[in-house]
Structures are given as C-alpha cells and as structure tokens.
Amino acid sequence: MKLSKSLVALPLAVACIGLAGCSAGAGPADDDGAPAGDGHGEIEGAAEVAEPPLGLISVDAAGAVGLLDLLNEEQSELGTVGAPLGLATDGRYAFVSTDDGVEVVDSGRWTWDHVDHFHYYRADARIAGTVEGEGPAEISTGMLSTAGSTGVFFAGSGEAVLLDNAALADGEVAERFRIDVGAEDGLVAPLGEGALVSDGDSLVFHDAEGEATGTTVPCSDAAGSITTRVALAVGCADGAILATATDGDVELEHVPFPDGAGSDNGSDAGAVTAFAARKGRPTVAGLTEQRGFWLLDTREREWTRVDTDQALERVVAVDDEDGHVVALDADGRVRVFTAETGDEIAATEPLLDEVTDSVSLTVDDQRAYLNDPSAGVVHEIDYAGDARVARTLETSPAPDFVAEVGR
Amino acid sequence: MRPLRCAALVTGLVAVSVLAGCSAPGGDTPQIVVTTNILGDVVGEIAGDEAEVTTLMKPNADPHSFEISAQEASLMESADLIVSNGLGLEEGLQQHLDRAVAAGAPALAAGDRIAVLDYTSEEAAGTPDPHFWTDPERMIDVVDAVESDIAGIPGVDAAAVGANADAYRAELEALDQEMVEAFAAIPEDRRALVTNHHVFGYLADRFGFRVVGAVIPGGTTLAAPSAADLRDLASAIEEADVPTIFAESSQPDRLVQVLASEAGVEVDVAELFTESLTEPGEGADTYLTMMRTNTERIADGLSS
C-alpha cells in the first residue's frame, strides 16, 4: 500500500535534531524564577517509577471518566464531569471542555524531561476541579505538568485564562490571570512566567499578572500552539512564531513558510491549523486543510513541506531516530511517513468508520493510540513495526474522548 | 542475584537529615549544608564531630528535582560551608545556591574540583556529565577539596578533620582497589554496560568499560511485542556479547522472557543504584555501600 510522494521543499531541514549545545532547562518552561517550594518533579504523595506510567483517560458522551493502565490493563473509575465537548491533554491532565467551562482530570501520572534522561512519577488520579467559562475552550499546554502554566481560551466569552500548574498538581485549580480579550478566536499559550495572547492580528506577551507588555509580534489568524523543549510555537497565516523565555527574557521569532508555500500566494500548502508531536520533541507536525503536512523544526527554525495524495485529518511527528510521522486520513487509516524523504512506509487498513472531532491520535516513543468512539475501542499501533495493530483496547467508560497520560 | 528496585516513595518536600550531631542547627557548632545525599555521606565522614552536617536531599530522592523549605534556604545562607554537586545536577536548587553565595555563604561545588567528562549521548553530547561519583578516584579529589574547606572554618580542629579525611581516603582507595580487582575478573571483551542508566560515564572511563546506550522496551511494548520492537536492544546485546544488561525496568522478568521468546536473546536484567542513596538496609545507604553493591552486580552479571 505504498504511495509515491514528493517533497516540495527543503529536504535538508527534515528530521534534523540538533545534537550539540542543548542543555537542561533551556526550554521555554524554564522555571528559574519559581518561588521556593514549587513542585518541580517531586510531589507529595507521588512515587518515582521505573518507566513511563502510561495510561488512557477515557471520557464517554455522558461525562463518565475512567483510567486504563496501559501496562497491566487495569481499569479504574474516576467519577463524572459534564458532557464533553472537547478534550486536550499535556500528558498528565485531561482538560475536558463542557458547558460549564473546562474540567480538569489529573491522571496522577507524568514524566519529567531532563533532556539527557527522564524521571517518571505516579500518584493518585482525581478530578481536580473546574475552570469556569463559556466554551468552546482552546487549551495550550507547556513542558512540565508540575510547574509553569496552562492556557485556556474561552471562545464563548473571549476570555484568556492562565492556570498555575503547581497548584493543579496539588489538586487546586488556581488562575494566575483571567483577562478579557474580546475576540471569539484566540489563544493563550504559556511562556515563562506569563503567556502569549493572540488579539487576532498579533501575539502579545502578558506577564504573570496578565498585564500586556510591549513584547509583541505580528501573527494573523493565530491557530495551533505547541511547546517543545526548545520553544513555544504558535501557527500564523504566514508561518509560525517561535517564542522562548530565559530568565524572564522573552524572545519572539517569526519563521515564515518557505517561498511559494504560504497560504496567501495561491499555492496549495496552506497554513497550519494544529501542531502535534511526541511530547517535548523539537520537530513538530503541522496539519493543514490542504493535502500533505508541514514539519517545523523548532531547533533549526525551519519548515519542511511533505505532500501526500490526500488531505489528512490528524498528523503527529514522533521525531525519533527514523523520523516517523504518524497520520490519520479521512478513510480512517493510520499512515506512517518518514520525515527524511516524505515517503509513506506503512499504513493500516481503515480502522474507523468515520473521523469525528472526538477522534484523537497520540504518539509516545513506542506506540500510537487512536480512539474509535463508535466501536468503543482504542487502537494501539506499532508505528515503527509496519503499522501493526498491537492491541485493541476496551476502555470503561467508552472512549468517546481519550487522553494518553504518563508521558 | 535478584536486582532490587528501591521504591522511591516521596513522602514530603522537606527533607532534612542531620547526619552528625543531634541538636537543632545553631549554637557554636559550625554548620555545613550539603545538597545531595551521596555528598552528604562523604562530607559527614570528613567533618566527623567538628561540624554539623545537614543534607537537603533525603534517601531515594531525585537530585534534579528535590525542593527545600524556606527554613532550609535560610540555613544555607547562614552556613559556614555549602557543598553541592554542581555541573547542573541540582537544577531546582540552583537559585537557592546562588542566593546563599550572594549572601556570603562559602560554597564548594564538587564538580569544580574534578576532571570533568562530557556526556557522550547524542541529545546531550557536549554538556558536562555531573555524575562523577561513579569513579571513586574522582571522589578522592572531592575529599581533598572538602577537607581543605572544612579545615578552614574558624573553630574547627584542622588536625581532627585531617585525620577523618585520611581515614576516609583510605576507605576510598580500598574501594577503588576492590573495583579494579572485581572488574579485572570480567573478560575484557565483556566489559560493556548495555544500559538505560545515564550515570556510568565516569565509571566506564575509569575502569575501561564501553557504555552501550539502549532503549529498553517499556510495558506497552512488552504487552504485545514484535521482533521489530526488540531489534535495537537485541542487536546491542549481541554486539556487546554480554550475559547481563543493566536496565531500569518495571517488569524485568517480562523483559527477560520477551527477549528470549521474540528475539532469541538469553540475557539477565540487573538494576544498579544511580543518583541517590537509600534507606539503611536497602543496598545503598552509604556511598561506599552503593559503590560496592553496583560493583558486585556488574562483576557478577558480566562474569557469569
């Protein structure tokens, strides 16, 4: 089932993971300024474990929440939230959009990234609380679940809220700030002690109190944000903004699409509507409304365009040694590409009858997970092994929405 | 020997263990604050009764991420000496170290007193490796530095500190000699650590081991593995030609089984102590015990 592919631009940039000069703490979630006592990996009641304590949080249409342990397939019930409209995750929390706002489910499972190695933690899972607001909500997450912040933009009320992750880790929903942006489309993405907030035409850095600063950069139609260990990336009509905050010093850099590939000049590439990658990895995949996908290397600050024979519904960069990119097409097939050449190397049979908004595709360093709400299962795919379906997992409650946690 | 995984139960953010003396900090006894529990043990041996040593990191903790209380931060600022690992190990604590130094506390970063190696792994290549303690010779260099700094604290009996340091240096030299002998029994072509532990660069450099970094398949892979999942690890094991790998895994038995059934590789899995001392009786309650336990596991694992 191999399909011929062509690379449109910049083969050099593909899958280039910077090898030198990286150091721990260089990411945008750098927490140097945190006050004493902030949870920084180590949390009361948590146990360090030997490997990522992977699990799936599932939420059914009625709002029942459960957790499936992916290591031993034990299932536990966590309670009930409102009927879900959407779900986002940072690899620990599930942020469930409901009519009341955003309900935060803490899986109690997370990974702490030290660049040269990782530490893994497990604590009790719980429903942490509700961030009130008028949905739908757009969630932007950071690198660490125990420090820094999480951004929630409520399209219904035009409010941008920044949540304190350290408080969340303690089971408390605490807002660092809540500001009225006055726009229906927006985005608030955590950066250093504050956040980048979209006002439609530009991104403005707001400090920890929510005050707008003079640090701003043009970015029309901001859509999609992702935090890597290198930078925060936010998609704009003409490319992306890469943002870093080191010791309170915020830098915003515009990385335009390569010539001839932007959405405003009639080519077929299209702007990014969503970024996705294995957690923290520097190279991320960008979904567009056109065929193909983008790869953005946040370390080299370069875009690479990969064409495909049809439009994709989801696309996630693994950014591993082989440069795997895992995608879902409209026929419900999972397709695996290599970043280096853009070639498709494997694909599944159609796994879903229909790709609805509640379908999510997530990758970790070993497997990909795709929920099938109508069949009530989650497919675990060995993307590096010929796109083999390794397990078909039944969750309770049904996986109308899922979040892979422990990452 | 069945490798033990010490459950690193983290029970609180505050972790003061007073190793020498038992009175509350203060009074006339010189105060030394040490960040990691490995260095806390070493510094306690050298200080003996001449100073009160407070170790911030408790047993079974992670040196990168432990946190301290406001009281401990203020203790640091008034300390007669602060001993840290340095080289970026105590990430979460660096701001407190900087503040204490700015407040005038004398500080010794052990990493500044040794010959530093860089990491060799791809992602972190070129950055200094802070895990010098896996080489006892380098720990002797640290002892020299600590001895001289403690001896310089007013009110300390330098001769007593010198005697303590001499005695501990002799212990480290004996340890070093034991390690040389234990590792000499391993056939030279088997001196390879196939591992996902990241701390053994100094040990490898000192005792002539190759470190073969390996990705250990996790629980989700072991639940439904294919030969392809095990290819990298199996080929690393075959290339290194070792009977034991040193891996942190939540299911070591399952890993052994799967390697045998899916990849035809017969190998044992042993775990080593890496960045933290344990509670007494758990195999690594002092620096010397930790090193001896690891030495025994490596020598047994690779000689069998």
Burial A355-370 (b: 16+ CB within 10 A, else e): beebbbbbbbbbbbbb
Taking the Cβ of residue B251 and every Cβ of chain A, the question of whether any pair is shorter than 8 Å is answered with yes
Do residue A19 and residue B122 have CB atoms under 8 angstroms apart? yes
| Secondary structure class of A336 (helix, strand, coil) | strand
Asked if residues A81 and A63 have their Cβ atoms less than 8 Å apart, the reply is yes
CA–CA distance, A203 with A242 (Å, rounded to integer): 11
The residues, any chain, with a CB within 8 Å of residue A330's CB and separated by 6 or more, are A310, A311, A312, A313, A355
Closest chain B residue to the Cα of A282, Cα to Cα: B123
Which residues 181-200 in chain B show a CB within 8 A of chain A? 198
Q: Tell me the pLDDT tens digit for each residue of A64-104.
A: 999 999 999 999 999 999 999 999 999 999 999 999 999 99
Least Cα separation, residue B98 to chain A (angstroms): 11
Taking the Cβ of residue A2 and every Cβ of chain B, the question of whether any pair is shorter than 8 Å is answered with no
Percent of chain A predicted with pLDDT > 90: 76
What does DSSP say about strands A291-297 and A302-317: parallel, antiparallel, or unpaired?
antiparallel
Both tokens assigned to A280 = 């923290």
What does DSSP say about strands B192-195 and B210-213: parallel, antiparallel, or unpaired?
parallel
Strand ranges for A53-114 from DSSP E? 55-59, 64-69, 75-80, 86-89, 93-98, 101-106, 109-113
The answer to whether residue A265 scores a pLDDT higher than 50 is no
Q: How confident is the model at residue A164 (pLDDT cuts 50, 70, 90)?
A: very high
Do residue A37 and residue B7 have CB atoms under 8 angstroms apart? no
How large is the ipTM? 0.77
| Residue A44 confidence (pLDDT) | 58
Average pLDDT of chain A, as a whole number: 87
| Secondary structure class of B167 (helix, strand, coil) | helix
Taking the Cβ of residue B121 and every Cβ of chain A, the question of whether any pair is shorter than 8 Å is answered with yes
Residue type, B134: T
Average pLDDT of chain B, as a whole number: 88
Q: Tell me the pLDDT tens digit for each residue of B50-84.
A: 999 999 998 888 787 677 888 999 999 999 999 99
Strand ranges for A133-271 from DSSP E? 137-140, 149-154, 159-164, 175-180, 188-191, 194-198, 202-206, 212-218, 225-227, 232-236, 239-246, 249-256
Q: Which of B35, B57, B62, B65 to mutate to test the interface with A (most CBs of A within 10 A)?
A: B65
Which residues 12-31 in chain B show a CB within 8 A of chain A? 12-13
Do residue B223 and residue A23 have CB atoms under 8 angstroms apart? no
- Residue matched to tokens 């997370």: A110
Contacts of B219 in chain A (CB under 8 A): 51, 54, 70-72
| Residue B227 confidence (pLDDT) | 82
In 10 A of CB A377, how many CB atoms? 18
| Residue B228 confidence (pLDDT) | 81
Q: How confident is the model at residue B131 (pLDDT cuts 50, 70, 90)?
A: very high
pTM of the full predicted structure?
0.80
Residue type, A322: D
The backbone region for A230, taken as left when phi is positive above 0, alpha when psi lies in -120 to 50, beta otherwise, is alpha
- Residues in chain B, total: 304
Residue type, A215: T
Both tokens assigned to B209 = 């081991």
Q: Tell me the pLDDT tens digit for each residue of B10-40.
A: 233 233 333 333 334 446 899 999 999 999 9
CA–CA distance, A16 with A14 (Å, rounded to integer): 5
**Residue B111 to residues A156, A261, A302, Cα–Cα distance (Å):** 54, 49, 37
Nearest Cβ partner of A366 from B61, B96, B220?
B220
What does DSSP say about strands A388-394 and A47-49: parallel, antiparallel, or unpaired?
unpaired
Contacts of A145 in chain B (CB under 8 A): none
Burial class of A394 by CB neighbour count within 10 A (0 to 12, 13 to 18, 19+): middle
Q: Tell me the pLDDT tens digit for each residue of A293-309.
A: 999 999 999 999 999 98
Percent of chain B predicted with pLDDT > 90: 71
Q: Which of A22, A30, A31, A40 to mutate to test the interface with B (most CBs of B within 10 A)?
A: A40
**Residue A156 to residues A71, A204, B303, Cα–Cα distance (Å):** 39, 21, 67
CA angle, A115 then A118 then A119, to 5°: 145
